[in-house]
Each structure stands twice: as structure tokens, then as C-alpha cells.
Amino acid sequence: MSTEASINLADDAELLDLMYHANFRAVFIGIETPKMESLKETKKFQNIAGDSMEAKLDRIYKAGINVRAGFIVGFDNDDKNIFEEQYQFIQNNGILMAMVGTLIAIPKTPLYKRMEKEGRLRLDDPNCNIAPKQMTPDELQQGYWELLKRLYAPQAFMDRYFKTFRFPEFRQKRAQICDKANEGKMIPTLGFGLVLLWNLFWTLFKDRSLRKVGDVYIRNFFKNSLRYRRDVIGFAQFMNACVTHWHFYKFTREGTEGRLRLFNSG
């Protein structure tokens, strides 16, 4: 199971324990940005209260829960360094599924009214309908797509996948969650993993990406996946991660090549 929460979930040890016992495996959190000034700008005060966001994320991982998170670029306090800052934060904290978008002013919101008052609305461009304060709209869009390309490069994704495995508590509790859910029976679990492998192989073959992408999967399976888990559950989970990566990789590639009709999709 998965749910959504704010990052101060990490400050409630009892709730984290209850989520683990209820077999929650992931939580989506609106982190938005690692930049403190931008968090204050968007009134995300829970993200800056107490200890660091990094420490909060570590506590969530140690409860056996994966973190998926939303991020935004283009706040008034963001300059062109924000793309590198976002990349480093996401990579260093092992946020596998990072849903990144550019700041958009939605009608009837305080942001829209402020942009309208300041003459910064760009209603002719649905993908970037504000004039950023410290960069041009083109710089914002280019930086956004470059950030996505870096995040969903095969090795960058794999680095994030295995980042949480550094916590023994995470590995132990994930294994216990699978046991409680009665998962891991040899035949169905192995069959699931093999079906994913077969379909992914032919997809990469037809796309001519076996060497560029498939080689990364293979290296990480033998170098990292088998290091942490050698059973059929580990195999099936790794294959599921590869399929997930391929989706985001292909989306990002087609977006940067202009083959998608996008409206601030991230």
C-alpha cells in the first residue's frame, strides 16, 4: 500500500511504526525543493521545522517505507543553480520516483493573482505561464528537461534504487513486509520476474537500447542486487524497478526530442 503525507510524518515514530505494521510500502511527499528560501516562499514551513529534511527522510526509510516525492523548479528564489541543487538532493537521498515540474500559476490562486499584478503572466505558453524572476522562461524549460534527463539516466536511477539499501533497518523491514503479505512463493514470484524480464528484453531490443540501457541493468543486478538479496523476491523487485525506470526514461527521451505534446508534465 502507499499513501501521501507531509514530511513531518518523520517526527511521529508511532505513526511510522503503525504504517509498517499495516504493510505500507511507500509514501508520496511534497518536498518541492531543498532551497530554504523557496520553501519559505511557498509556505512549506513543515519542511524546514526541526532537523534537516535529510534526517527526516532517513527515519522514514528506516521504518521500511520508500519515499516518492514531488519537486518544483522556478520559484522566485530559484536561480540557474537550482537544477544542480535539486539533482544532488534527489540523488543523495535515494528518492527513486522524483516527480519534477515547473512552477505554474493556476487561475484564482494567490500565485496567479500575484503574477498578474506583477505583469509576469505568460498565458500564451501553457508549459511555462509565468516569467521566472532569476532566469528566462527558456532557461527554466531547458534546465527542467536537463534535470529530468540526468535523473532518469539509467545509472542515476539505479544509484537511487540501491541508496536506501544502505539502511539495515530498511532491508529487514521490507523483507518482513513481504513475509506478512505472504509474498515470495517460488513459482508465481519467479514467473512474475521472468515475464518482466522477457518483455523488457524485447522492448529494449526493438528500441535498439539493449546496449545503452540493458547493459546498465545487467551490471547493477550482478554488482548490487545480488549483494543485498539473492532470492526470487529480490529478482522480481529488481525487474520491477527496471521496468519502472524504462517508463520514465522513455518519457523523458521523447519529451526532450519533441515527440510528446506536453502541458507541464513532469
Q: What are phi and psi of 95, to 5 degrees?
A: -85, 95
CA atoms within 13 A on the CB side of 8: 7
Reported as a single tens digit per residue, the pLDDT across 186-206 is 788 899 999 999 999 999 999
Closest CA to 247 of 148, 142, 140, 143: 148
- Percentage of the chain surpassing pLDDT 70? 96
How many beta carbons lie within 10 A of that of residue 128, not counting itself? 20
Per-residue pLDDT, 256: 79
Reported as a single tens digit per residue, the pLDDT across 208-251 is 999 999 999 999 999 999 988 888 888 999 999 999 999 999 98
Per-residue pLDDT, 57: 95
Do residues 47 and 39 lie in contact, with contact meaning Cβ atoms separated by under 8 Å?
A: yes
Per-residue pLDDT, 183: 73
Q: What 3-state class would DSSP assign to 42?
A: coil
Q: Which residues of 222-250 are buried (b: 16+ CB within 10 A; e: fewer)?
A: eebbeeebeebbbbbbbbebbeebbebbb
Per-residue pLDDT, 152: 95
Reported as a single tens digit per residue, the pLDDT across 82-98 is 999 999 999 999 999 99
Q: What is the DSSP string of 108-139?
A: TSHHHHHHHHTT-B-TT-TT--B--SSS-HHH
C-alpha cell at 63: 521504518
Q: What 3-state class would DSSP assign to 48?
A: coil
Residues in Cβ contact with 30 at an 8 Å cutoff, skipping those fewer than 6 apart: 6, 44, 69, 70
Per-residue pLDDT, 10: 94
Ordered structural domains, the chain, with CATH? 2-151 (3.30.750.200), 183-256 (no CATH)
Per-residue pLDDT, 266: 38
Per-residue pLDDT, 259: 62
C-alpha cell at 231: 532470492
Q: Report d(CA 178, CA 164) in Å as an integer.
A: 17
pTM: 0.90
